[in-house]
Amino acid sequence: MSLLQSLGLRRAPARPALARDFHCHLLPGVDDGMRTLDEAREAIAGLRRLGYRGGVLTPHIYPGVYDNDAAGLRAAFAEFRSQIGEDYALWLAAEYHVTDALFERIAEDDLLHVPLGDRRLVLVEFPSLMPAPRGIDALAALARAGYQPVLAHAERYRYLQTDPEPWLERIARHGTWVQCNIGSLAGLYGEGPRTFAQDLLARGLPVLWGTDLHRPRQIERYIAPGLDRLGGLGRLNAALDALEEADA
Ligand SMILES: [Fe+2]
């Protein structure tokens, strides 16, 4: 019997060491994420309690749904960062939905991205229900243009869940990094994404894990228990350790 057991205490669940989040909707008032500065502050306080010390903001860019552009988001980000201060390191990227506009931005070499060494990380979101041949085209175009494509919440796409092998092969063909949502492991999006996230984890495929946080209440309900299932990773998002705060 261990000392903890003999004292009648349960061992705390193992969690990975945390530093930086990748994928969240903290920037207030620009998409379906945080609605106010107060809500964003509450979320950051909750993330800090979990152990996060910073994160990459990824507001939606989805013409006709979230009509954001790089210039507007950069301005909103500069204001937000001045309001948050230095307690939480922030970087700005975006979550690009696959549309004609994305291909135009790639052609113009004008994408919100995270510089990481000699890589330029761009987060791309596929449609959730319908197969997206153009999604693979977007990954290929990004790679050709010298970007590092990152596929957002790979576990959430139904067509990947039902037919993973060919899709994962197509995605890997362009050197795409797979990103998964921590909350998926705790059932935030239902059973399909939960089991597929576990499958991707078992395959060792996710390079990055994100909170994809939209509301502060998701932290205790889904992110904390999701992290309890990631203890085997040791350190979460180690790839982001090379992010330089001076570049933020
Ligand atoms: Fe997102």
Single-letter amino acid, residue 68? N
How many separate domains does the chain show?
1
163 CA distance to ligand 1 centroid (A)? 23
11 occurs within a structural domain = no
130 occurs within a structural domain = yes
CA end-to-end distance (rounded Å), the chain: 49
**What is the distance between the alpha carbons of residues 26 and 233, in angstroms, rounded to a whole number?**
25
56 CA distance to ligand 1 centroid (A)? 11
99 CA distance to ligand 1 centroid (A)? 16
Per-residue pLDDT reduced to its tens digit, 30-52: 999 999 999 999 999 999 999 99
Q: Indicate which CATH number applies to the domain containing 99.
A: 3.20.20.140
Pull the structure tokens for residue 146: 């010298």
6 occurs within a structural domain = no
Per-residue pLDDT reduced to its tens digit, 87-131: 899 999 999 999 999 999 999 999 999 999 999 999 999 987 778
94 CA distance to ligand 1 centroid (A)? 9
Which structural domain, as residue segments, surrounds residue 83?
A: 25-247
87 CA distance to ligand 1 centroid (A)? 23
Give the CA angle between residues 189, 195, 201 to the nearest 5°: 105
pTM, two decimals, is: 0.92
**What pLDDT, on a 0 to 100 scale, did the predictor assign at position 18?**
84
200 CA distance to ligand 1 centroid (A)? 18
**What pLDDT, on a 0 to 100 scale, did the predictor assign at position 229?**
95
Q: Please report which confidence band the pLDDT of residue 62 belongs to, taking 50, 70 and 90 as the band edges.
A: very high
Q: Is 170 helix (H, G, I), strand (E, B) or coil?
A: helix
